[in-house]
Amino acid sequence: MDISAMLVNLARDAAAVMWLALWTMGELVGTLYCGNAVLRMSRAARLPGQPPVTMGELVPVMLVGGLMYNLSVFINATWNSMGTGTIAYGPVAYATGATFGRFADAINAVLTLASIAGGYFFFKGVILLKHSVADGQNPQGGEDIVWRALVHMIGGCMLVQIADMIERFRQTMHVVW
């Protein structure tokens, strides 16, 4: 078994499981974000001496938790704001045998794994967005977490639809293969 066959088998067998794991992690983290916000609010109202929780602290965390809980819908909405069509979370079928010969299956497998990595980058972007909402920006201005979050989210969305992005780049640059 060569490396291309291993990649094809990995992409075929693990793609659905990796997407399901991402959706499950998104639901779990979103539930934890919202639950933690409600617990902070409850604790502040119940226990004396606790700092008060304002709506400005509560609502953004709840919104990010809801986005994380509906991660697939949020990725699809981000893609629709940049392009057209809906996202299909599954194996990528970009390369054909007529164009790429015997390497078509390996190219599709690599693009499928890149698509899954894009979903996890988007997940990290939403986590960075929550970090910037909950903790605020660095007072020294050394890093801008919101921009890092947006880059992860937009870049991850582009990786999720890697076949469309390659095709658009190819048409824009007039590349022929």
| CA pair distance 7, 70, nearest whole angstrom | 30
Structure token pair of residue 104: 């078509």
CA angle, 159 then 165 then 169, to 5°:
140
- For 81-87, which contacts have Cβ atoms below 8 Å and span 24 or more sequence positions? 82/154, 82/157, 82/158, 83/161, 83/164, 83/168, 85/164, 87/160, 87/161
The DSSP secondary structure of 117-173, one letter per residue, reads HHHHHHHHHHHHHHHHHHH---TT----HHHHHHHHHHHHHHHHTHHHHHHHHHHHH
Structure token pair of residue 144: 């801008």
Helix, strand, coil content of the chain in percent (nearest 5): 80, 0, 20
What pTM was estimated for this model as a whole?
A: 0.87
Residue 106 and residue 33 in contact, taking contact as beta carbons nearer than 8 Å: no
Residue 23 and residue 129 in contact, taking contact as beta carbons nearer than 8 Å: no
Instruction: Identify the CA nearest to 153 among candidates 123, 132, 112, 131.
Output: 123
The total of structural domains in the chain comes to 1
pLDDT by 10s per residue, the chain, length 177: 688 889 899 998 999 999 999 999 999 999 999 999 899 888 888 888 888 888 888 888 999 999 999 999 999 998 888 877 778 888 888 877 778 888 888 999 999 999 999 999 999 999 998 888 776 655 555 468 888 999 999 999 999 999 888 888 988 998 876
User: What is the pLDDT at residue 71?
Assistant: 92
Domain extent at residue 99:
3-173
